[in-house]
């Protein structure tokens, strides 16, 4: 129970103390009107039992007065608890979301890339919504369901311990059953959560892949995978609802049988003369009330635990280690890889690679696909820490540097440009938050975007679609260069775009890149070897190892992999439509 | 598809529940019977207490076997009641989850029929939220609220009858608070206050959904540019807004919710004074006392089921608002499907006076009266500056959008007269943005022709130059993209999509030439792959690198949505100024060498 509470509150139980205390207070207050009623019934019974001559009406009326008084108190407490519960839960989840989002940001990017990004988005949304539900709907009911009966039971023990025990005679069995199904509950809950996740992912895929789906006639009912995911989720939902139900029903039945036990034991005792009628009546009345809150609590428990699973996922993610390092980044920007080995899961991508990337120089990295080019850039940007060896940035081990300060030194222009659903101005402003409009425009001019931006309906205030969907590839690339330009970072990491742009875009891109790298330390992945023949140094990677390195001419003389690639590219230099496509009538 | 139903709110929900009418009726009947069975323990207690009261003065006269019988009856009633509650609940849940499943399938199906423009306007996060969460909430109504409402009403009617039969004053004292409670619920549901903030609440929820998806997907950019959750876009603000609207919405219900709770909880407080009043007039009358007891004992039995309705109003409104959003998707107009589809027998593509604008309301036309023919078995290339409309032309052919004016025909058949399936059967594509599903590579290729034999799949992969790199992967064709850190390079992904197209072997091929992946090995392999693909086809190619299409049969030069010129490379180079300048730009960019400019200015 405590663990669930910990998970539901995402590790911050204290937040829920106030709501829980108010809920308990409201429930306690609620016991008083009932208590007065029970007293009134007792007085009436005593009147008939002892053949008193006068029914003590003033006393009875004063009981009623007490009920009214306490109902006012109940009302007040209920209001407080309502506020505390809902506000508390919403506040907790807003803060929790922000905390999780902030935590995700500080994780190594590699970790984020390894997980499906959808799952994380899912976590921020659905999982927090579930913990919210648990905290608002279930928590108060579960807690009040436990507090009131326990207190009543303790109180009733003093009145008559035999009937009290009879009342809860079935309860140990209830607990046993509930304990026994815990494993089952977890099993069904987990597979239901999985089905939910599969559904979420398939749906995301369906929406993002819509074009392909349409083109291959897979849309709608033909898209079986999504349909299967919906179907599986339905099955799992029904299973979760149905499989555990009988256990809970039996558990509740054992508990509620207490009412029958009271009657039987009461009859036995009263015939034996060791129980008075008013006490018996009192127990019967309490017996009609005491099990309901417990029943509600038990019925709510599975849902509560299920939602706590969502909290558990969040807590697990929050426990992922953050990137380490506190040092300021050093003033110089020589970069060195020393015996770096790196693997994604099991697949070794860089194998004992050592490189010198001197400051102020242009280093090109070339090689066949899968040779580890992108990984080198990602390591320099510290998306990951290498498993073996180290990266030395300006003389310090990169692991010791504060990742955020390191990031300030590095600008990246990668192939997959992600623009945010925001104005173009703000998208460029990500480069430097405090940049003025003049600076933004200057950066845009330098990156050859100003002209096309001005042609857009709202100029710099034009909204960009999700992921940049409303702009062409070349335009997105140039905006990402403008961002990098604005950032003024001394180290520029470039991944030459492989997707071809139309000639005018291509030319503009090239101008923009030339301006961006001016006076900076540049490490660039080149796909077209011609682009980088002037580089200070060309590093040729092959299957995760450095095959050769040197200047263009030296490498040609070497006559190894580079020379081979160069010749191959000279031959093709952009594919042509072969003559085979000419009409064949 | 179905039209938007005019009903909203409660009636629309009941309509949805009606989709599984038989199940719902049984769920209602059984759960009502269960509620009645669950009253038996209370009646048993009453019977016992009455017997005790009658013989309070002389306990020897108590009929112990009667009491034991009632104890057993109470226990049995309780057990049966819960058993039936389970059965009824299961029926309700089965109905509910089937209905949700049905709605989701229909929604997905409907989305598939919508023009692509819809997806540009509606972020993925928002649509996901509707299909997952908004649909999910309907379950609460169908499986819980609806049966609860029915059985509460039935129980109340029966109870009221019985109570009035016993004693009108007690009956009034217990009924009035309940009626009052119901009144609160329904006035809240219909009340203006209940809807204040509801729309904002939903909008805020959709907003954080969208921004959280972006936050996660844009993480590389966020990290590089040193954003925090507080500075990132409006994400933090969205979260605070959501919190604010949640609080505001629940605040609206505070007093009614609390009043309902307190009133229903304190039935005894209403009953007791009536009893005392009656009793004070005639204290000797045991019958009065017994009736009083009956009402006091039965009160919690009545209020427990009613209690289930405590947040009926607030959650019903939330569910209904979600349904509104679902219905809004259903109301989106799909691309019209012809009654009787025609099939073309030849495969020339003809654009006749085609005009098109992405937004019907917008006057900016992307294409203005475009006319051209792409002859069968020939290669037609589209070139032009960005924004000239060349990609749009390729998107109109598969009816991702419908033309505004004019017509597009394949072999003389208007594409709007063809069934979508038949249209797609004659087209294949290689898009700029390849999309692989997180499935095995084998299945990703199989998409091209679902009934293909393994041999055909391997042959297509070989022809598309994928076979070698796939064979090198740890699980070969069974490798699932994205699992175990296996990702393909851009060029490899593109070749997989070429393999799909080869497998499909449709007579018309639309090629968006980002296919020219520039790294050397890819380039030469793509060339081989495409050579295979375009054999004997009607090919429409959107070209960026002009060398690609030098030898095309026909090149169409586009400028701002109009055809500037068309002809062969040689013709255009000699007469068209736009083509000349593009060729000029192209040759310059081909010779670009980085570092020339950069190196000179590097301070040492």
CATH number of the domain bearing residue A361? 3.40.50.300
Query: Which of B176-180, B244-248, B528-532 bottoms out in mean pLDDT, i.e. has the lowest?
Result: B528-532
| B214 → closest Cβ in A204, A404, A466 | A466
Q: What percent of chain A has pLDDT over 90?
A: 20
- Domain final residue, candidates A318, A344, A363: A318
- The whole model's pTM is what? 0.80
DSSP code, position B144 = I
Residue B604, pLDDT above cutoff 60 = no
Residue A578 within a domain: no
Asked, for residue A180, whether it belongs to a domain, the answer is no
Indicate yes or no: CB of A230 within 8 angstroms of CB of B101: yes
B123–A421: do the CB atoms touch at under 8 Å?
A: yes
B444 touches chain A (CB under 8 A): no
Position of tokens 């600008």? Answer: A411
pLDDT at res. A440: 93
Range name among A126-130, A162-166, A171-175, B469-473 with the lowest pLDDT average? A126-130
Domain membership flag for residue A233: no
Q: Which two tokens stand for residue B143?
A: 């499986």
The alpha-carbon gap from A502 to the nearest alpha carbon of chain B, in Å, equals 4
**What is the sign, positive or negative, of the torsion defined by CA atoms of B589, B497, A566, B600?**
positive
Establish if B356 touches chain A: CB-CB under 8 angstroms: no
Higher-pLDDT residue of A256 and A527 is A256
Classify B7 as helix, strand or coil. coil
Whether A361 and A298 map to the same domain: the answer is no
Final residue before a domain boundary, out of A318, A343, A365: A318
List the single residue in A50, A404, A510 with the smallest CB-CB distance to B589. A510
The verdict on a CB contact (< 8 Å) between B432 and A71 is no
B533 touches chain A (CB under 8 A): no
Question: Per the CB < 8 Å rule, is B89 touching A245?
Answer: yes
Is A548's pLDDT higher than 90?
A: yes
- B541 to chain A, any CB pair closer than 8 A? The answer is yes
Question: Greatest CA span in chain B, whole angstroms?
Answer: 124
For chain B, positions 253-282, list CB contacts with chain A under 8 A: 254-255, 257-259, 261-262, 265-266, 268-269, 272-273, 276, 279-280
Decide if pLDDT at B116 tops 90: no
Please give the structure tokens belonging to residue A499.
């997707």
For residue A542, pLDDT over 80 is answered with yes
% chain B with pLDDT above 70: 90
Cβ of B262 within 8 Å of Cβ of A370? The answer is no
Q: What is the pLDDT of residues A196-233, one digit of tens each?
A: 888 988 888 888 888 888 877 776 555 788 899 999 99
**pLDDT value, residue B484:** 59
- ipTM rounded to 2 decimals: 0.82
Indicate yes or no: CB of B210 within 8 angstroms of CB of A41.
no
B38–chain A Cβ distance below 8 A for any pair: no
Task: Give the per-residue pLDDT at B486.
Answer: 66
Tokens read off for A64:
């009623």
CB B548 within 8 A of CB A575: yes
* pLDDT tens digits, one per residue of B199-213: 887 888 888 877 777
Distance separating alpha carbons of residues B219 and A105, to the nearest angstrom: 7
Q: Which residues of B touch A217 (CB under 8 A)?
A: 420-421, 424-425
Query: Domain count of chain A?
Result: 2
Chain B residue numbers with beta carbons less than 8 Å from the beta carbon of A31 are none
Average of per-residue pLDDT across A302-327: 82
pLDDT score recorded for residue A343: 85
- The answer to whether B285 touches A125, Cβ cutoff 8 Å, is no
pLDDT in tens, A345-358: 677 889 999 999 99
pLDDT band at A365 (very low <50, low <70, confident <90, very high): very high
Which of A218, A499, A566 is best to mutate for the B interface (most B CBs within 10 A)?
A: A499
Of the residues B216, B232, B234, B278, the best mutation for testing chain A's interface (the one with the most A CB atoms within 10 Å of its CB) is: B216
pLDDT score of B88: 92
Average pLDDT along chain A? 83
Closest C-alpha among B475, B497, B495, B496 to residue B486: B475
State how far residue B199 is from chain A, nearest Cα, in angstroms. 18
Distant-in-sequence contacts of B484-487, Cβ < 8 A, 24+ apart: B484/A345, B484/A346, B484/A347, B485/A114, B485/A344, B485/A345, B485/A346, B485/A347, B486/A347
Last residue of a domain, one of A270, A287, A318: A318
- The residue among B79 and B474 whose pLDDT is bigger is B79
Residue A154 sits in the same domain as residue A63: yes
Q: How confident is the model at residue A547 (pLDDT cuts 50, 70, 90)?
A: very high
Question: Residue B362's CB: how many other CB atoms inside 10 A?
Answer: 10
Residue B12 forms contact with A (CB below 8 Å): no
Do A8 and A93 lie in one domain? The reply is: yes
Reported as half-sphere exposure (CB side, CA atoms, 13 A), residue B355 has a value of: 10
Mean pLDDT of B2-22: 72
Q: Contact at 8 Å (CB) between B239 and B208?
A: yes
* A209, A242, A527 member nearest B437 (Cβ): A209
- Residue B365 burial by Cβ neighbours in a 10 Å radius (0-12, 13-18, 19+): middle
Residues of chain A found within 8 Å of residue B287, distances taken between Cβ atoms: none
Domain co-membership, A370 together with A282:
no
Same domain, A310 and A425: no
- Min Cα–Cα distance to chain B from A30, Å: 8
Query: Which pLDDT score, from 0 to 100, does residue A467 have?
Result: 64
Cβ of B385 under 8 Å from any chain A Cβ? Answer: yes
Q: Which of A324-338, B190-204, B374-388, B467-481 has the lowest mean pLDDT?
A: B190-204
The residues, ordered by sequence, that sit 6+ positions from B191 with a Cβ below 8 Å of its Cβ are none
Nearest Cα residue in chain B from A507: B589
Mark whether A542 and A460 lie in a shared domain: yes
The CA-atom distances, in angstroms, between A140 and each of A18, A21, A474, B269 are 11, 10, 56, 24
Residues of B in contact with A96 (CB under 8 A): none
**pLDDT value, residue B90:** 93
A457-468 per-position pLDDT tens digit: 788 998 887 666
* Residue B181: pLDDT band with limits 50, 70, 90: confident
Q: Tell me the average pLDDT across B48-76.
A: 88
Highest mean pLDDT out of A160-174, B431-445, B526-540: A160-174
Q: Which helix (H) or strand (E) holds B405?
A: strand B405-410
Which pair of structure tokens corresponds to residue A308? 């706590």
> How many CA atoms are closer than 13 Å to the CA of B121, on its beta-carbon side?
10
Q: Which residue has the tokens 């072999």?
A: B411
Rounded to the nearest angstrom, the minimum Cα separation between A329 and chain B is 15
Residue A204 lies inside a defined structural domain of this protein: no
Domains assigned to chain B: 9-331 (1.20.1560.10), 349-590 (3.40.50.300)
Do residues A525 and B587 lie in contact, with contact meaning Cβ atoms separated by under 8 Å? Answer: no
B208·A97 Cβ contact <8 A:
yes
Q: Is B235 on the interface with A (CB under 8 A)?
A: yes
Domain that holds residue A272: 2-169+257-318
Residue A546: its pLDDT value, please?
Answer: 92
> Searching chain A, which residue's CA lies closest to the CA of residue B397?
A215
DSSP code string of B519-574: SHHHHHHHHHHHHHHTTT-EEEEE-SSHHHHTT-SEEEEEETTEEEEEE-HHHHHH
Whether B284 and chain A come into contact, CB under 8 Å, resolves to: no
pLDDT surpasses 80 at A584: no
Instruction: State the nearest Cα–Cα gap between A325 and chain B, in angstroms.
Output: 15
pLDDT of residue A502: 66
> Which residues on neighbouring strands pair with residue A521, listed in sequence order?
A491
Same domain, yes or no, for A291 and A422? no
Express each pLDDT in B153-169 by its tens digit: 888 888 788 888 888 88
Nearest CB among B119, B272, B546 relative to A210 is that of: B119
Chain A / chain B CB contacts < 8 angstroms: 568
Bridge partners of residue A492, in order along the sequence: A411, A522
Domain for residue A430, yes or no?
A: yes
Are residues A294 and A412 located together in one domain of the fold? no
Do A445 and A513 reside in the same domain of the chain?
yes
Residue B143: pLDDT over 60: yes
In the numeric block, the tokens 């989305």 are attached to: B111
The answer as to whether A415 is a domain residue is yes
* A117/B216 touch (CB, cutoff 8 Å), yes or no: yes
Which residues, including other chains, have CB under 8 Å from residue B401's CB and lie 6 or more apart?
B115, B116, B117, B356, B358, B395
Task: Flag if A580 and B531 touch (Cβ within 8 Å).
Answer: yes
Q: Is the model's pLDDT at B2 over the cut of 60? A: no
pLDDT, average across residues A364-375: 84
pLDDT at B87 over 70: yes
Closest by Cα among B393, B451, B391, B386 to B425:
B451
Whether residue A409 has pLDDT greater than 80: yes
**Which of A306-315, A575-584, B434-443, B493-502 is predicted with the least confidence, judged by mean pLDDT?**
A575-584
Q: A500 pLDDT exceeds 60?
A: no
Classified as helix, coil or strand, B475 is coil
DSSP A486: H
User: B269 and A273 in contact by Cβ < 8 A?
Assistant: no
- Can you tell me the distance from the alpha carbon of B470 to that of B472, in angstroms, rounded to the nearest whole number? 5
Two structure tokens written together for B512:
């968006």
Question: B61 CA to chain A: closest CA distance, Å?
Answer: 10
Please list every residue in chain A whose beta carbon sits closer than 8 Å to the beta carbon of residue B330.
none
Residue A257: closest CA among chain B residues belongs to which residue?
A: B75
Q: What's the CATH code of the domain at A100?
A: 1.20.1560.10
In this prediction, residue B6 carries a pLDDT of 55
* A344 in the same domain as A305: no
- CB A361, CB B600: distance < 8 Å: no
Quick one: A52 and A86 in the same domain? yes
A303 and A341 together in one domain: no
The reply to whether A195 falls in a domain is: no
Note whether B577 contacts A: Cβ–Cβ < 8 A.
no
B369 CB within 8 Å of a chain A CB: no
Q: Decide if A324 is inside a domain.
A: no
Residue in A closest to B511 by C-alpha: A577
């Amino acid at each position: 129970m405590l663990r669930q509470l910990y998970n539901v509150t995402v590790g911050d139980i204290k937040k829920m103390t106030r709501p829980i205390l108010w809920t308990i207070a409201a429930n306690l207050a609620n016991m008083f009107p009932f208590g007065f009623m029970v007293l009134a019934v007792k007085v009436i019974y005593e009147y008939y039992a002892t053949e008193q001559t006068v029914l003590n009406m003033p006393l009875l009326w004063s009981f009623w007065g007490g009920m009214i008084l306490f109902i006012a108190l109940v009302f007040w407490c209920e209001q407080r608890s309502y506020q505390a519960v809902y506000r508390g839960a919403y506040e907790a989840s807003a803060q929790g979301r922000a905390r999780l989002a902030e935590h995700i940001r500080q994780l190594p990017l590699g970790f984020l890339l390894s997980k499906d990004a959808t799952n994380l988005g899912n976590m921020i949304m659905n999982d927090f919504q579930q913990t919210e539900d648990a905290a608002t709907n279930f928590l108060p009911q579960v807690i009040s369901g436990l507090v009131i009966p326990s207190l009543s039971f303790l109180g009733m023990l003093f009145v008559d311990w035999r009937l009290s025990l009879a009342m809860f005679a079935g309860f140990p069995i209830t607990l046993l059953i509930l304990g026994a199904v815990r494993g089952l509950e977890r099993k069904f809950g987990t597979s239901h959560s999985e089905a939910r996740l599969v559904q979420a992912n398939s749906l995301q895929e369906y929406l993002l892949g819509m074009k392909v789906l349409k083109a291959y006639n897979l849309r709608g009912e033909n898209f079986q995978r999504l349909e299967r995911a919906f179907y599986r989720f339905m099955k799992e939902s029904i299973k979760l609802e149905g499989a555990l139900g009988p256990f809970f029903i039996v558990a509740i039945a054992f508990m509620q049988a207490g009412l029958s036990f009271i009657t039987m034991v009461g009859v036995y005792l009263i015939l034996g003369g060791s129980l008075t009628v008013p006490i018996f009546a009192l127990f019967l009345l309490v017996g009609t009330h005491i099990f309901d809150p417990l029943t509600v609590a038990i019925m709510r428990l599975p849902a509560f635990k299920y939602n706590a699973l969502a909290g558990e996922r969040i807590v697990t993610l929050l426990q992922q280690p953050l990137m380490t390092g506190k040092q300021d980044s050093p003033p110089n920007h020589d970069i060195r890889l020393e015996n770096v080995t790196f693997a994604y899961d099991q697949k070794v991508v860089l194998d004992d690679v050592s490189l010198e990337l001197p400051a102020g120089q242009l280093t090109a990295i070339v090689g066949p696909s899968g040779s580890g080019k992108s990984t080198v850039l990602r390591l320099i940007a510290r998306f990951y820490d290498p498993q073996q060896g180290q990266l030395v940035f300006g003389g310090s081990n990169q692991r010791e540097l504060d990742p955020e300060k390191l990031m300030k030194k590095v600008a990246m222009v990668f192939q997959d440009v992600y623009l945010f659903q925001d104005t173009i101005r703000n998208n460029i402003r990500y480069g430097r938050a405090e940049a003025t409009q003049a600076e933004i425009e200057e950066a845009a001019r330098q990156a050859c975007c100003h002209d096309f931006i001005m042609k857009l309906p709202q100029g710099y205030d034009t909204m960009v679609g999700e992921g940049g969907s409303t702009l062409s590839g070349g335009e997105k690339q140039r905006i990402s260069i403008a961002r990098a330009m604005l950032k003024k970072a001394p180290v520029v990491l470039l991944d030459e775009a492989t997707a071809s742009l139309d000639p005018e875009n291509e030319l503009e891109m090239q101008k923009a890149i030339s301006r961006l790298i001016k006076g900076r330390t540049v490490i660039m992945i080149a796909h077209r070897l011609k682009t980088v023949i002037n580089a200070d140094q060309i590093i040729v990677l092959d299957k995760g190892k450095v095959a050769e390195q040197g200047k263009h001419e030296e490498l040609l003389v070497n006559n190894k992999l580079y020379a081979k690639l160069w010749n191959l590219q000279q031959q093709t230099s952009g594919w042509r439509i072969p003559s085979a496509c000419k009409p064949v009538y | 598809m179905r039209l938007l139903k005019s009903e909203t709110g409660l009636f629309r929900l009941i309509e949805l529940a009606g989709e599984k009418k038989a199940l719902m009726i049984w769920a209602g009947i059984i759960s009502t019977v269960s509620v009645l069975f669950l009253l038996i323990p209370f009646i048993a207690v009453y019977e016992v207490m009455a017997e005790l009261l009658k013989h309070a003065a002389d306990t020897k006269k108590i009929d112990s076997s009667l009491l034991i019988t009632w104890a057993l009856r109470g226990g049995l009633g309780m057990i049966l009641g819960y058993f039936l509650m389970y059965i009824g609940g299961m029926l309700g849940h089965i109905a509910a989850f089937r209905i949700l499943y049905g709605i989701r399938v229909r929604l997905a199906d409907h989305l598939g029929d919508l023009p692509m423009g819809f997806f540009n306007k509606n972020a993925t996060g928002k649509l996901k939220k509707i299909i997952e969460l908004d649909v999910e909430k309907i379950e609460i109504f169908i499986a819980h609220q609806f049966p609860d409402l029915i059985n509460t009403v039935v129980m109340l009617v029966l109870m009221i009858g019985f109570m009035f039969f016993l004693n009108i004053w007690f009956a009034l004292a217990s009924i009035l608070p309940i009626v009052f409670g119901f009144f609160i619920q329904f006035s809240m549901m219909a009340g203006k206050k209940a809807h204040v903030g509801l729309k904002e609440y939903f909008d805020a929820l959709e907003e954080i959904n969208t921004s959280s998806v972006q936050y996660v997907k844009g993480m590389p950019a966020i990290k590089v540019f040193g954003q925090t959750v507080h500075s990132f876009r409006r994400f933090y603000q969205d979260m605070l807004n959501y919190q604010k609207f949640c609080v505001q919405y629940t605040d609206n219900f505070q007093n009614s919710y609390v009043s309902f709770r307190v009133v229903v909880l304190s039935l005894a407080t209403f009953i007791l004074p009536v009893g005392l009043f009656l009793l004070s007039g005639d204290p000797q009358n045991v019958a009065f006392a017994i009736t009083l007891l009956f009402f006091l004992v039965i009160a919690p039995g009545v209020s427990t089921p009613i209690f289930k309705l405590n947040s009926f109003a607030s959650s019903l409104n939330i569910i209904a608002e979600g349904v509104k959003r679902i219905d809004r998707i259903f109301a989106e107009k799909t691309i019209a499907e012809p009654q009787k589809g025609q099939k073309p027998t030849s495969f020339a593509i003809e654009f006749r006076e085609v005009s098109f604008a992405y937004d019907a309301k917008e006057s900016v036309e992307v294409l203005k009266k475009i006319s051209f023919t792409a002859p069968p078995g020939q290669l037609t290339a589209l070139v032009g500056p960005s924004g000239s409309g060349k990609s749009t032309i390729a998107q109109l052919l598969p009816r991702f959008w419908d033309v505004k004016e004019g017509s597009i025909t394949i072999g003389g058949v208007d594409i709007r007269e063809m069934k979508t399936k038949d249209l797609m059967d004659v087209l294949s594509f290689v898009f700029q943005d390849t999309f692989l599903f997180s499935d095995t590579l084998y299945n990703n290729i199989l998409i091209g022709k679902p009934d293909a034999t393994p041999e055909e799949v391997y042959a297509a992969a070989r022809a598309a130059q994928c076979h070698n790199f796939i064979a090198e992967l740890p699980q070969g064709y069974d490798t699932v993209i994205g699992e175990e850190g296996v990702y393909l390079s851009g060029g490899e992904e593109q070749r997989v999509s070429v393999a799909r197209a080869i497998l499909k072997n449709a007579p018309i091929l639309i090629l968006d030439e980002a296919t020219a992946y520039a790294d050397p090995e890819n380039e030469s392999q793509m060339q081989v792959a495409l050579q295979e693909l375009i054999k004997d086809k009607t090919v429409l190619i959107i070209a960026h690198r002009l060398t690609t299409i030098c030898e095309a049969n026909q090149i169409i030069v586009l400028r701002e949505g109009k055809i500037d010129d068309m002809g062969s490379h040689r013709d255009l180079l000699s007469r068209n100024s736009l083509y000349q300048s593009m060729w000029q730009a192209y040759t310059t960019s081909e010779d670009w060498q980085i570092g020339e400019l950069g190196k000179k200015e590097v301070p040492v």
